[in-house]
Amino acid sequence: MPIDRHRWDVVVVGARAAGSATALLLARMGHDVLVLDRAVFPADTLSTHQIARTGVVQLHRWGLLRTVLDSGAPAIRQVTFSTPTESTTRTIKNKSGVDILVAPRRYILDPIVAQAAADAGAEVRFGVTVTGLHLNDSGRVTGVYGRDRAGAPFDVQARFVVGADGLGSRVARAIGAEVTSSRGDGGAVQYAYYGGIPWPGIELIASDRALTGVFPTHLYEACIWICSPSVDAHQARRGATSREDAFTAYLDRTAPELAQRLRTARRTSPVQGMLRTPNYIRQAHGPGWALVGDAGYHRDAVTGHGLSDAYRDAELLAVALDRTLRSEIDDTTALAHYQLQRDEALREIYDITCALASYPAVPEFVELQKRLSIAIDVEAAEAAARTTPRDREFAPA
């Protein structure tokens, strides 16, 4: 098997949200980083792709928000929240340094962050499938191996391997990362894209046993989605002639006014989604390895917080690895601190997410949404105020 004789500081498996962000920050800190992904960008992935305020703050801090907007992602300046009895529209306030939200398509957003990592000095290789990890005699992870897009084997050595390879993380499975919290998978999310009518902002529509939404995105389209209990999503599919017919009928029930508007719109994609969205937290580190993003923590889509979680945890991990790579602290202590910070940071929104994903009666659901809004504002303020080593190297221009 051909061996890459270069020993990298960090090999990141996965080049999407968490992986490219981790590589970007480590490269800007001066480390030797290799990123591997089996996809060839640009490539889409399953995601409703709205970025909560915390994630927008991170993109701004890293100097990437302008690039995202320049790609054609609309600046979202209002959110409308509706229940069966009332509807309220609010302007996005200027907090934590940002006054907009964004919902860029993943086939555009992920390459932007991956390219920023490459521009910072990371090496990014696409079309590469990691099939296993190298361990030394003491059980420490020392590298990865697999196949490139031509089917040729490769072998890479590294001081640290980061698994950022998503929900079905091969890295997590290979090292047997323990699931430390599992709170079921009873929620579902389904979505499709529509164009042809104006989309003034984000819309959230709470109804009995569902949250339906609108996220304006690239190409003057919007992601139209329904989050609901998994059993209801399965029921909506039964008897329908297609996913699309089932989705349209389901929209008629969960958001009839939106469904009426969509009759003059044009659906531009198939219906996609997950009929079971797991809620779990995994052990985040071990000798020579760490997990970030969905590989280490996944939550139901009802709170739309996945990208913000990924960007937050990427920075926490990058700082921890930077400290140990510079010999400021031993790796066990540094990575244990990363896991502690991650677990503390995710806890409140994880709890709220699990509560929302049980779809309580609408009044309780609304109160949980209010708690979520407050928690996100607190989290975003903490992100905006966070100081990190060599912060000047990735502050926005």
For the chain, list residues with pLDDT below 50. 1, 389, 391-397
Q: Kindly report the number of other CB atoms within 10 A of residue 135's CB atom.
A: 16
Second CATH level (architecture) for the domain 4-51+105-183+278-360: 3-Layer(bba) Sandwich (3.50)
Check: CB of residue 212 under 8 Å from CB of residue 255.
Answer: yes
pTM passes above 0.85? yes
* CB contact at 8 A, 285 and 338: yes
Residue ranges matching CATH 3.50.50.60 in the chain: 4-51+105-183+278-360
At residue 321, the 3 state secondary structure works out as helix
Identify residue 374 by its one-letter amino acid code.
I
Question: What is 187-277's CATH number?
Answer: 3.30.9.10
* Tokens, residue 16: 């999407």
Instruction: Decide if 44 contacts 190 (C-beta within 8 A).
Output: no
- Nearest Cα neighbor of 311 from 5, 12, 25 is 25
CA–CA separation, 314 vs 327, rounded Å? 20
Residue 316 phi, psi dihedral angles, 5° rounding: -60, -40
Closest to 290 measured CA to CA, from 316, 329, 326, 327: 316
Q: What is the pLDDT of residues 338-378, one digit of tens each?
A: 999 999 999 999 999 999 999 999 999 999 999 999 999 99
CB 62 within 8 A of CB 396: yes
Tokens of 35: 């990123």
Segments of the chain assigned to CATH 3.30.9.10: 187-277
